[in-house]
Chain A
Amino acid sequence: MRYIEQQKVVKRMNGRLVVNTIFKGLFMAATIMALLALVILLYRIITQGAGHLSLDFLMNFASRFPEQAGIKAALIGSLWLMAVVAPTSIILGVGSAIYLEEYAKQNRLTTFIRLNISNLAGVPSVVFGLLGLTIFVRALSLGNSILAAGFTMSLLILPVIIVASQEAIRSVPNELRDASLGMGATKWQTVANIILPAAIPGILTGSILALSRAIGETAPLIVIGIPVIIQFLPKGVFDTFTALPIQIYDWASRPQQEFQVVAAAGIIILMIFLLIMNSIAVIIRNKFQKRY
């Protein structure tokens, strides 16, 4: 008795192999399509905007005339925004992560905080804008200042920073903790002198990636009423300002064809910003991350 009929198997083999090859091709084509979208997008924007890039573009304020329109106010505004968002979100994010990983007891409150963080990450950014409009702009009467926008953005990226910091803290091996505690260090001494230094590369990498999301976010800024045309630079965090994405949005939504070029040039500047931030994140990850 033969358990496997060779004839039958052989007869179907070719068809099965063909199906395998076809689908392998299809799956590969899908992957390539996704990558191709990225290439086309970058190519389009660079070819459109590169011609408008110049020192004048960086040094000029926004203008009604496309050829004179510059990005100075938006560039400086985005830097101001980062100056508020970075410390606020990192202190809140890392503090929360330390609490959840090192201090929190396994109880309902902790489970609730964790669940809440993962849900907060799924809230659309435009809704965060509504929160900022009510709480920071109106209730705390910060107006459309750098501070109001910065706090709104900080809350928006908070879940990302918390999760990244939690992972970084979790990857510090328990031996380090135990050794420190065993030498007589207190809990906080252990956290501040042993765990945080070991986790800092991971925390920084995650934070920089989160900040690069904040720098490109547009919707919350529009909702809290950040203006577009600004002919001066902010002097402090209570001043109003404009930012790169909002400036790009304004240019992109104008009907004149010439402004499309200006918008593309603005996008190039924004992407260079992101590229620098991401490179720093990758360098930190590769250089300082210790493997235990």
Chain B
Amino acid sequence: MSLSVQEMIAQSKGKKNKKFIEKIIPWILLLIASVSVLTTIGIVLTLIVETFTFFTRVSVFDFAFGTTWLPFSNKQELYGILPLIVGTLKVTLIAVIVAVPIGISAAIYLSEYASETVRRIVKPVLEVLAGIPTIVYGFFALTFVTPLLQSFFPEIKIFNAISPGIVVGIMIIPMIASLSEDAMSAVPRSIRDGALAMGSTKFEVAWKIIVPAALSGIIASVVLAVSRAIGETMIVSLAGGSTPKLDGDFAGSIQTMTAYIVQVSKGDAGYGTTIYYSIYAVGFTLFLFTMLMNILAQYVSKRFREEY
């Protein structure tokens, strides 16, 4: 017996099974998609709850404004986060000094000067630089950059802020270069051609036309890179040291927020001790810093975008 197509459709429509699958699938997928939301909620809740426990033992005021971080002391434990923040900012500052000029210059070169062939070779290589695990960078900072710096400036200690700062800078160069290049490439060809036709040199086009037009993207890339530098962990744990200090010394040992979390996790601070909860308080501070940076980047790229 042969059926017409219409009959076949009518028959298959009657199948309960298939209808059920069609109905249930979107819900299963929604459930899967909500895992990422649950992760965020999990992170925020975890940090808040454990930080709250920490604040039942250490006052919020002492934590936020205390100038000494001395959790391992036998007599008087002190939890003032400022030294850790200053350590983080030292490394970030040096990273920015290294990465911003090089990253943006590379972006301008790739977007405005380089031939298509050069671009096609250099961009993937920069991606390789971005894909190297941070532990490798940390090893490089400790065993190559620090000794190199010491041979020029003997006053630099084995653990310092400069070497990890430089290497974190190298790590974030690809991010700045690639995101800024995207922003510059998005500036329409016609604007470039217009300026060139008026007799501008390539540098004048790049500096006076393209960079201002792509500024929102460039700034956003730098802010994102800063956020990455603040959250960077392994490089500073290996090469930065573990001496939280509130001063302007870059040559001596420091400690960043991330390095403190690693230091405590490596040791055996028992579950339930104040030190155990302190890593959540530090993690929460770190989370706030990076979150603020990410929101700032989104705001800048949205608010100041030039529409063509």
Q: Please list the residues of chain A having a beta carbon within 8 angstroms of any beta carbon in chain B.
A: 9, 16-17, 19-20, 23-24, 26-31, 33-35, 37-38, 40-41, 44-45, 48, 91-92, 95-96, 98-100, 103-104, 112-113, 116-120, 122-131, 133-135, 138, 155, 158-159, 162, 184, 186-188, 209, 212-213, 215-219, 222-225, 245, 248-249, 252-253, 260, 263-264, 267, 270-271, 274, 278
**A24-B203, A31-B122 given; A126·B129 CB < 8 A:** no
Contact check, A99 vs B261: say whether CB atoms are below 8 A apart: no
Q: Restricting to B95-121, which residues have a CB under 8 Å from any CB of A?
A: 101-103, 105-106, 108-110, 112-114
Contact check, B113 vs A24: say whether CB atoms are below 8 A apart: yes
A253 cross-chain contacts in B, Cβ below 8 A: 237-238
Contact check, A44 vs B231: say whether CB atoms are below 8 A apart: no
Contact check, B26 vs A122: say whether CB atoms are below 8 A apart: no
Contact check, A218 vs B106: say whether CB atoms are below 8 A apart: no
Contact check, B129 vs A37: say whether CB atoms are below 8 A apart: yes
Q: Interface SS of chain B: helix, strand, loop or mixed?
A: helix
Contact check, B133 vs A217: say whether CB atoms are below 8 A apart: yes
Q: How many A-B pairs with Cβ below 8 Å?
A: 252
Q: How large is the interface on B (under 10, 10 to 19, 20 to 34, 35 or more residues)?
A: 35 or more
A20 cross-chain contacts in B, Cβ below 8 A: 201-204
B140's nearest neighbour on chain A, judged by CB, is A41
Does B217 touch A at the CB level, under 8 Å? no
A9 cross-chain contacts in B, Cβ below 8 A: 199
Mask, B1-45, CB within 8 Å of A = 1, is 000000001000000001001100110111011111101101100
A188 cross-chain contacts in B, Cβ below 8 A: 21-22, 25
Q: Which residue in A28, A119, A155 is a CB contact (below 8 Å) of B291?
A: A119
Among B29, B142, B261, chain A packs the most CB atoms within 10 A around the CB of B29
Q: Restricting to B235-288, which residues have a CB under 8 Å from any CB of A?
A: 237-238, 258, 261-262, 265-266, 271, 279-280, 283, 286-287
Q: Interface SS of chain A: helix, strand, loop or mixed?
A: helix
Does B197 touch A at the CB level, under 8 Å? no
Among B33, B42, B137, B271, chain A packs the most CB atoms within 10 A around the CB of B33
Q: Restricting to B141-199, which residues have a CB under 8 Å from any CB of A?
A: 142-144, 170, 173-174, 177, 199
Complex CA gap A216/B35 in Å reads 23
B106 cross-chain contacts in A, Cβ below 8 A: 27, 30-31, 34
